[in-house]
C-alpha cells in the first residue's frame, strides 16, 4: 500500500532529478540555470519531508536565492540571454559511461548495507533541535571553531571574489 | 514510510547526473552548475543519514551547514574566476582554455 | 764536557761547513774558506783535546775501558742499530794526525786554489771529506765505519774530478770510484757475513770479546778450509786493497793525481787511503785470531803477500816516473804496502806507527810538490824543473825533510823509526821460521832501497842543478798560506818518530821515555804485544839501504845535474826494463783488454737485444694494445652506450608523446574524468576484497 509520504517523496524526487536532467539536457545555458533552480526546489521539499525545515529554509535562501541568482547573472554578463549557440556537450559518451558506472557503484554499495534498507527512521527528532544547533555552533566544546573558520572563509571569499573580478584599470 | 535506501539512491542518481554535467558540458558555467548539483546530493545524503540513523547527533547538521557555506563560497569565487577568464580570453569555451596543456 | 760528547762534536763543524757553503755561501770566497778553515780548526781543537785527555788517562786505562757512547738510530725488528763513538788509544793516535794534517791542508788550499772559479765548491767538498774521515775514525762499529768509508769514497770522486771539464779528470774520478767499489763490495759482504754470524758489528764485541772471537775462529765458513773469522777477515781486507790502492786494485791512485794537489795530499796520502789501513789495524784481532802457525792466519797471509809485493812493485814503478806527483803516488802505494805487510807479520804497533808518520811526511811531500807546481805555473814534469832550490827555498828544505823521512834517514826523521820498526818485526818473524817473514823482509828492505833512490832522484831533478825550462827560470816561492803548513808538517815529520824509539836504543831510548807509542797504542789490543828487543842486524841493513839509496840517487842525478833536454840516464841503464817500468807494467792496458772492453761489448749487446728488442718490444706491444683497446672502447662508447642512451631517451620521449601527452590536455574535465574513473576502480577493488564498510 503506497503511503502519502511515499507519494510526496516521489513528487519531490521527480522534481529534483528532473531538474538535474534538465541542467544537462538544456541547449541554452539560461534554460539549464532554470532547470537547476527547479532541482533546488525539489531538494528543499525533500528536506521538509525529512523533518529538517531549517535546512529547507537554508536551501531556499542560499542556493536558490544566492547561488542560482549569481549563476544567472554570470550567464547574462558573459553572453547575453540568448547567446550564440554553440555545441554544448563534449565527450558525451565517455562522461555518460563514467557517470553511469559511478551510479552503479554507489547503488551496489547502498543496497548491500542492511541497516540502510530498513523502512522506518529510527528515533525522534528533538523538538528544540534548532536551539540546540544554534547553541552548538557557538560553544567552544562543540562547533565554535568550525563556525569561526567558516566566517573567515566567507570573508576571504568576499574579498577574493571582489578582487578577482574587478575591473582592471 | 520511505526507506532510507530510496533517499540514498536518489542522491546517488543526483550525484551521477551532476558528475555527468561536470564532465560533459563545454561551458564553464555549465560545469559549475553540475558541481552544485553534486553538492546538493551530498547534503541530501547527509540529512537523510541524520534523520534515519542519528537524529540526536548535531554533528551531521553542523556538517551540512558547513558544506552549504563552502558550496556557496566556492560558487562565488568560481564565478568571479570565470568572469576574469572571460574578460581575458573572450571565451567561456573550455576547449580553448587549455594554457596548461603540454 | 765529556770525551764522548767531544768526539761527537768533532763531526759537526765540517759537515756544517759543507752545508753552509753549498746552500748559502757559495758566492763568497773569503767567507767560504773562512768557514771551512774555522771548522777544521774547531775539529782540530776538539780532537787534540781528546788526545790530551787520552794521553793523561794513559794507554792502559783507555785500552781497558774505551770511551763508548751510543745513539740509537735505526730500529730493525728486534734489534736497534746504533751510531756511536769509540775512543781508545788507536783512535787517539788517528785523531792526532788527522786533525793536524786536515787543518794544514785546508790552510794550504787557500793559496793553492787561489783564483779558481769554483773556489768555494772546493772548500765545501773538502769539508765534507773531513767529516767523513773524522766520522770513520771515531766510529764504534763496522756499519758506521762503512758509512763514512763510502762518504769518503764519494768525496774522492768529487774531488778527483773537481776540474770536471777535463776529460782526463772525470775519467780518473770514475776509475777511482769504480776500482774502490770492487773492494767495497767484498768488504760489504764481509760485514754482512759477520753480522749474520754474530748479530752485531760493534768493535766491542767483534774485536774484544774473546768468546766471540774464538767462536768465529772455530766455526767453519761457507768456503772450505776457512773459518768464519778468516773469510770475513779476507773480505774486509779486500776493502782495504781497494781503498788503500794495493795490487791489483792500485790502478786508480796514480790517475787520481788529476785532482788538485791538496786533494792528493789529503785523500791519497794523509787520510783516505790511511782509512784502509786503519780498517785492518782495527780489525786485527779478528784477522789474527786462531793463529796457528808462524805464518799466520789466512788474512794475515794475504796481507803479507799482497802488501809486501805492492810495496816493492810500486817502488819500482816510481823510479821511472817523470811527473812529480806520480812519483809520490806510487810512493804512497808502496808505503801503504809496508803497513799492510807489517800487519801480515803481526806487527800491530809498527803498522800504526808507520801510518801516522807516513801521513805527516807524505802530506808534506804532496803539499811541497804542489808548491813547486804552483811556482812552476802549473807544470808538473820534473824533467822541466831544476834549480828550484834557489828560487823556492822554504819549499826546498821542507821537501828535503819529507823526502828524507820517507827514505828513512836515520835518527832525525820519523820515517826512520817507523819503517825500521816494521823491518825489525819482519826480520824477527823470518828468524822465527816464518817463510812469510823472509818474503816480507826481503821485499820491504829492497823497497826501502828503491824508495831512498827515487826520492833523491826526485829531489835532485826538481831542486838541484840549473833550471831546465822557462817556467823553472821564473819560478818563485809560494805565499805563506802554503809555506807555513809545509813548515808545520816538516816539524812533525822530523820529530814524531821520537815517540816510538825502542827502549833499548842506545842513549835515545832512555831519553825519550821508552817507546811511548808502542805502549800507548799497543794497549788497544787485549793482549799487548811485547816490544821487540833491539836487533842490530835489520837496523844496520836499514841504515845502509837508506843512506845507500840516497847516495845513489844523488850520484846519478845530483852530482851532475841534468841539462835541459837531456835524457834520464836510467833509461840507458835499464833499457827495455825502463820502458816497462815507465808504463807501470802495462797493468792498466791489461785490465782494459781483460775486463773493460768485454764489459763494453756486453753492454752493447744487451742494449741491442734486450733493451731495444725485448723491453722496447714489450712496450711497443703494450702501447699498441692500449691504443687498440682505446679505439674499441671509443666505438663502444659512441655506438653502444651513446646509442643506448639516445634511444632510451627517445623511447621515453615517445612514451611521453603518444598517449601520455594526450593526458595533459589542460582540460579540467578530462582530469575529472580520470578522477572519477579511478574512484570507481578503487571502490570496486575495495568491494572485491570484501572489506567491510
- Please report the pLDDT score of residue C427 as a whole number: 85
Q: Report pTM.
A: 0.63
pLDDT value for C510: 64
Q: Which of C661, C665, C672 sits opposite B98 (nearest CB)?
A: C665
Q: In this predicted structure, what is the pLDDT of residue A64?
A: 93
> Both A9 and A81 in a single domain?
yes
Among A61, A26, A24, A25, CA closest to A40: A61
Domain residue limits at A8: 1-85
A147 part of a folded domain: yes
Q: Is residue A34 predicted with pLDDT exceeding 80?
A: yes
List CB contacts (< 8 A) between C679 and chain A.
102
Closest C-chain CA to B27: C669
**Residue-by-residue DSSP string for C114-158:** TT-TTHHHHHHHHHHHHHHHHHHHHB-BHHHHHHHHHHHHHHHHH
Based on the fold, state whether residues A81 and A146 are members of the same structural domain. no
Of C673, C683, C684, the CB nearest to A98: C673
CB pairs A-C closer than 8 Å:
24
* CA atoms of A38 and B13, how far apart (whole Å): 16
Residue B86 lies in a domain: yes
Judging contacts by C-beta atoms under 8 Å, the chain C residues touching residue B95 are 667
pLDDT for residue C501 is more than 80: no
| Predicted confidence (pLDDT) per residue in A88-141, tens digit | 555 566 667 777 777 877 777 777 777 666 666 666 666 677 788 888 888 888
**Is A9 a member of any domain?**
yes
Which residues in A lie closer than 8 A to residue B58 (C-beta atoms)?
132-133, 136, 142-143
Quote the pLDDT of residue A82.
Answer: 42
Give the residue numbers spanning the domain of B54: 4-96
Which pLDDT score is estimated for C294?
Answer: 55
> CB–CB of C363/C456 below 8 Å?
no
Q: Is residue A98 part of a domain?
A: no
Range with the poorest average pLDDT among A145-154, C127-136, C681-690: C681-690
Q: What is the DSSP string of B14-29?
A: HHHHHHHHHHHB-BHH
Q: Which of A17, A36, A90 lies at the smallest CB-CB distance from B26?
A: A90
Q: Answer yes or no: is pLDDT of B92 > 60.
A: no
Most confident of B35-44, B57-66, C470-479, C551-560: B35-44
For residue range C405-429, list pLDDT tens digits in order: 888 888 777 888 888 888 888 888 8
Q: What pLDDT is attached to residue B10?
A: 92
Between A31-45, A83-97, C473-487, C530-544, the lowest mean confidence (pLDDT) is in A83-97
Is the Cα torsion angle C276, C279, C281, C287 positive or negative in sign?
negative
Distances (CA, A) of C402 to C110, C192, C193, C498: 22, 40, 41, 16
The shortest C-alpha distance from A32 to chain C (Å) reads 19
What average pLDDT score do residues B57-75 get? 88
Q: How confident is the model at residue C511 (pLDDT cuts 50, 70, 90)?
A: low
Q: How confident is the model at residue A81 (pLDDT cuts 50, 70, 90)?
A: very low
pLDDT at site A88: 54
Give pLDDT tens digits for C178-224: 888 999 999 999 999 888 888 778 877 777 777 777 777 777 777 76
- Rounded Cα distance, C132 and C150, in Å: 8
Whether residue A140 sits in one domain with residue A70: no
Percent of chain A as helix, strand, coil, to the nearest 5: 75, 0, 25
| pLDDT for the residue A84 | 53
In a domain, B17, yes or no: yes
Q: Which CATH class is domain C1-140?
A: mainly alpha
The tally of domains found in chain B comes to 1
> Is pLDDT at A163 greater than 80 in this prediction?
yes
Cα–Cα distance, C652 to C657 (Å, whole number): 8
pLDDT for residue B100: 56
Q: CA geometry: angle at C223 spanning C221 and C229, to 5°?
A: 40
Question: A residues 38-77 near B, CB within 8 Å?
Answer: 39-40, 43, 46-47, 49-52, 55, 58, 62-63, 66-67, 70-71, 74-75, 77
Q: Please give the tally of structural domains in chain A.
A: 2
Instruction: Check residue A12 and give its pLDDT.
Output: 93
Of A52, A67, A99, the CB nearest to B36: A67
CA-CA distances (angstroms) from residue A53 to A48, A62, A88, B2, B51?
5, 14, 37, 18, 12
Q: How far is A106 from chain C (nearest CA, A)?
A: 9
pLDDT for res C664:
61
CA triplet C514, C519, C522: central angle to 5 degrees? 150
Would you place residue C660 in the very low, low, confident or very high pLDDT band (cuts 50, 70, 90)?
Answer: low
Q: Which of C168-172, C336-340, C682-686 has the highest mean pLDDT?
A: C336-340
pLDDT of residue A17: 93
B38 pLDDT more than 90: yes
What integer best gives the mean pLDDT of chain C? 82
Burial class from Cβ neighbours inside 10 Å (0-12, 13-18, 19+) for residue A94 reads: middle
The pLDDT tens digits of the residues spanning C44-70 come to 998 888 888 888 877 777 776 777 777
Average pLDDT of the residues in C228-232: 81
Say what percent of chain C tops pLDDT 90.
8
Tell me the average pLDDT across C586-601: 82
Q: Where are the alpha helices (DSSP H) in C283-407?
A: 284-288, 298-319, 324-344, 348-375, 388-391, 393-407
CB-CB contact of C377 with C345 (8 Å)? no
- The answer to the question of residue A90 being in a domain is no
At residue C693, the pLDDT reads: 47
Contact B31 C673 (CB under 8 A): no
Domain membership of residue A99 (yes or no) is: no
A142 touches chain B (CB under 8 A): yes
Grid coordinates representing C206? Answer: 767483534
Q: How far apart are CA C268 and CA C359, in angstroms?
A: 10
For residue range C124-136, list pLDDT tens digits in order: 999 999 999 999 9
Indicate the pLDDT class of residue C503, thresholds 50, 70 and 90: low
Mean pLDDT score, C95-106: 90
For residues B27 and A30, the answer to whether their CB atoms sit within 8 Å is no
Question: C-alpha distances in angstroms, C378 versus C253, C264, C321, C475?
Answer: 20, 15, 18, 11
Residue of A14 and A87 predicted with greater confidence: A14
Which residues, 6+ apart, have CB-to-CB distance to C676 below 8 Å?
A98, A99, A102, B19, B23
Question: C interface toward A at CB cutoff 8 Å?
Answer: 669-670, 673, 676-677, 679-680, 683-684, 687, 693
- Residues of chain A contacting residue C689, judged by C-beta atoms under 8 Å apart: none
Least confident of A2-16, B53-67, C199-213: C199-213
DSSP string, B74-93: HHHHHHHHHHHHHHHHS--B
The contact set of A with C (CB < 8 A) is 90-91, 94-95, 98-99, 101-102, 105, 108-109, 113
Q: What is the CATH number of the domain that holds A18?
A: 1.20.120.1200
The complex scores an ipTM of 0.86
Amino acid at each position: 500500500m503506497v503511503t502519502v509520504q511515499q507519494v510526496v517523496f516521489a513528487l519531490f524526487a521527480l522534481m529534483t532529478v528532473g531538474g538535474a536532467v534538465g541542467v544537462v539536457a538544456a541547449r541554452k545555458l539560461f534554460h539549464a540555470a532554470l532547470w537547476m533552480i527547479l532541482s533546488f526546489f525539489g531538494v528543499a521539499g525533500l528536506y521538509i519531508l525529512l523533518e529538517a525545515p531549517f535546512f529547507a529554509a537554508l536551501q531556499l535562501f542560499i542556493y536558490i536565492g544566492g547561488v542560482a541568482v549569481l549563476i544567472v547573472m554570470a550567464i547574462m554578463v558573459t553572453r547575453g540571454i540568448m547567446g550564440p549557440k554553440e555545441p554544448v556537450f563534449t565527450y558525451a559518451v565517455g562522461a555518460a559511461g563514467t557517470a553511469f558506472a559511478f551510479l552503479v557503484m554507489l547503488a551496489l554499495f547502498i543496497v548491500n548495507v542492511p541497516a540502510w534498507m530498513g523502512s522506518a527512521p529510527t528515533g525522534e527528532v528533538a523538538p528544540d533541535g534548532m536551539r540546540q544547533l544554534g547553541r552548538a555552533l557557538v560553544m567552544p566544546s562543540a562547533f565554535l571553531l568550525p563556525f569561526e573558520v567558516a566566517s573567515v572563509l566567507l570573508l576571504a571569499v568576499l574579498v577574493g571574489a571582489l578582487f578577482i573580478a574587478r575591473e582592471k584599470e | 514510510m520511505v526507506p532510507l535506501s530510496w533517499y540514498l539512491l536518489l542522491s546517488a542518481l543526483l550525484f551521477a547526473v551532476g558528475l555527468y554535467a561536470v564532465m560533459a558540458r563545454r561551458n564553464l558555467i555549465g560545469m559549475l552548475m553540475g558541481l552544485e548539483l553534486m553538492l546538493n546530493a551530498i547534503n541530501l545524503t547527509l540529512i537523510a543519514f541524520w534523520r534515519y540513523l542519528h537524529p540526536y547527533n548535531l554533528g551531521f547538521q553542523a556538517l551540512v551547514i558547513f558544506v552549504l557555506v563552502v558550496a556557496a563560497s566556492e560558487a562565488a569565487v568560481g564565478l568571479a574566476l570565470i568572469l576574469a577568464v572571460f574578460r581575458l580570453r573572450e571565451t567561456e569555451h573550455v576547449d580553448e582554455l587549455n594554457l596548461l596543456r603540454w | 764536557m765529556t770525551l764522548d760528547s767531544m768526539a761527537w762534536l768533532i763531526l759537526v763543524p765540517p759537515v756544517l761547513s759543507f752545508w753552509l757553503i753549498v746552500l748559502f755561501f757559495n758566492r763568497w770566497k773569503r767567507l767560504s774558506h773562512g768557514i771551512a778553515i774555522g771548522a777544521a780548526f774547531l775539529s782540530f781543537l776538539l780532537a787534540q783535546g781528546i788526545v790530551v785527555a787520552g794521553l793523561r788517562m794513559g794507554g792502559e786505562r783507555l785500552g781497558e775501558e774505551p770511551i763508548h757512547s751510543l745513539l740509537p738510530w735505526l730500529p730493525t725488528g728486534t734489534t736497534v742499530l746504533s751510531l756511536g763513538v769509540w775512543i781508545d788509544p788507536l783512535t787517539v793516535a788517528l785523531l792526532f794526525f788527522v786533525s793536524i794534517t786536515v787543518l794544514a791542508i785546508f790552510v794550504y788550499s787557500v793559496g793553492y786554489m787561489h783564483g779558481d772559479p769554483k773556489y768555494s765548491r772546493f772548500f765545501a767538498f773538502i769539508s765534507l771529506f773531513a767529516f767523513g774521515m773524522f766520522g770513520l775514525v771515531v766510529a764504534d762499529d763496522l756499519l758506521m765505519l762503512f758509512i763514512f768509508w763510502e762518504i769518503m769514497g764519494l768525496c774522492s770522486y768529487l774531488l778527483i774530478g773537481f776540474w770536471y771539464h777535463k776529460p782526463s779528470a772525470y775519467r780518473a774520478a770514475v776509475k777511482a770510484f769504480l776500482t774502490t767499489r770492487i773492494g767495497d763490495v767484498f768488504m760489504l759482504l764481509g760485514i754482512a757475513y759477520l753480522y749474520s754470524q754474530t748479530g752485531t758489528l760493534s768493535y766491542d764485541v767483534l774485536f774484544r770479546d774473546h768468546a766471540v772471537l774464538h767462536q768465529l775462529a772455530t766455526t767453519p765458513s761457507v768456503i772450505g778450509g776457512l773459518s768464519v773469522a778468516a773469510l770475513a777477515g779476507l773480505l774486509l781486507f779486500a776493502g782495504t786493497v781497494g781503498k788503500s790502492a794495493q795490487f791489483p786494485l792500485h790502478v786508480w791512485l796514480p790517475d787520481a793525481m788529476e785532482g788538485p794537489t791538496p786533494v792528493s795530499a789529503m785523500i791519497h796520502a794523509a787520510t783516505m787511503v790511511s782509512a784502509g789501513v786503519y780498517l785492518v789495524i782495527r780489525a786485527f784481532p779478528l784477522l789474527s785470531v786462531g793463529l796457528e802457525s808462524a805464518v799466520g792466519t789466512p788474512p794475515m797471509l794475504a796481507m803479507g803477500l799482497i802488501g809486501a809485493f805492492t810495496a816493492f812493485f810500486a817502488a819500482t814503478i816510481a823510479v821511472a816516473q817523470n811527473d812529480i806527483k806520480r812519483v809520490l803516488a806510487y810512493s804512497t802505494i808502496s808505503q801503504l804496502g809496508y803497513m799492510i805487510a807489517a800487519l801480515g807479520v803481526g806487527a800491530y804497533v809498527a803498522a800504526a806507527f808507520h801510518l801516522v808518520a807516513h801521513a805527516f811526511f807524505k802530506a808534506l811531500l804532496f803539499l811541497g810538490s804542489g808548491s813547486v807546481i804552483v811556482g812552476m805555473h802549473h807544470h808538473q814534469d820534473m824533467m822541466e824543473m831544476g834549480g828550484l832550490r834557489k828560487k823556492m827555498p822554504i819549499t826546498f828544505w821542507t821537501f828535503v825533510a819529507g823526502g828524507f823521512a820517507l827514505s828513512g834517514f836515520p835518527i832525525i826523521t820519523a820515517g826512520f823509526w817507523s819503517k825500521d820498526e816494521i823491518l825489525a818485526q819482519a826480520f824477527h818473524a823470518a828468524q822465527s821460521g816464518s817463510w812469510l817473514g823472509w818474503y816480507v823482509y826481503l821485499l820491504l828492505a829492497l823497497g826501502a832501497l828503491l824508495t831512498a833512490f827515487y826520492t833523491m832522484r826526485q829531489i835532485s831533478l826538481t831542486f838541484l842543478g840549473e833550471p831546465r825550462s822557462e817556467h823553472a827560470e821564473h819560478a818563485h816561492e809560494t805565499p805563506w798560506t802554503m809555506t807555513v803548513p809545509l813548515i808545520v808538517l816538516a816539524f812533525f815529520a822530523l820529530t814524531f818518530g821520537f815517540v816510538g824509539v825502542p827502549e833499548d836504543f842506545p842513549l835515545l831510548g832512555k831519553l825519550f821515555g821508552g817507546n811511548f807509542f808502542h805502549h800507548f797504542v799497543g794497549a788497544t789490543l787485549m793482549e799487548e804485544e811485547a816490544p821487540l828487543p833491539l836487533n842490530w842486524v835489520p837496523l844496520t841493513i836499514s841504515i845502509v839501504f837508506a843512506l845507500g839509496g840516497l847516495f845513489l840517487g844523488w850520484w846519478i842525478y845530483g852530482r851532475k845535474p841534468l841539462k835541459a833536454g837531456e835524457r834520464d840516464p836510467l833509461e840507458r841503464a835499464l833499457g827495455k826494463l825502463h820502458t816497462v817500468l815507465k808504463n807501470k807494467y802495462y797493468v792498466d792496458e791489461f785490465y782494459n783488454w781483460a775486463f773493460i772492453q768485454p764489459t763494453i761489448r756486453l753492454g752493447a749487446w744487451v742494449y741491442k737485444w734486450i733493451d731495444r728488442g725485448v723491453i722496447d718490444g714489450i712496450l711497443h706491444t703494450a702501447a699498441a694494445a692500449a691504443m687498440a683497446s682505446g679505439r674499441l672502447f671509443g666505438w663502444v662508447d659512441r655506438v653502444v652506450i651513446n646509442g643506448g642512451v639516445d634511444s632510451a631517451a627517445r623511447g621515453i620521449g615517445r612514451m611521453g608523446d603518444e598517449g601520455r601527452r594526450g593526458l595533459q590536455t589542460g582540460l579540467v574535465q578530462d582530469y575529472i574524468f580520470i578522477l572519477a574513473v579511478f574512484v570507481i576502480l578503487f571502490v570496486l577493488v575495495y568491494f572485491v576484497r570484501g572489506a567491510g564498510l
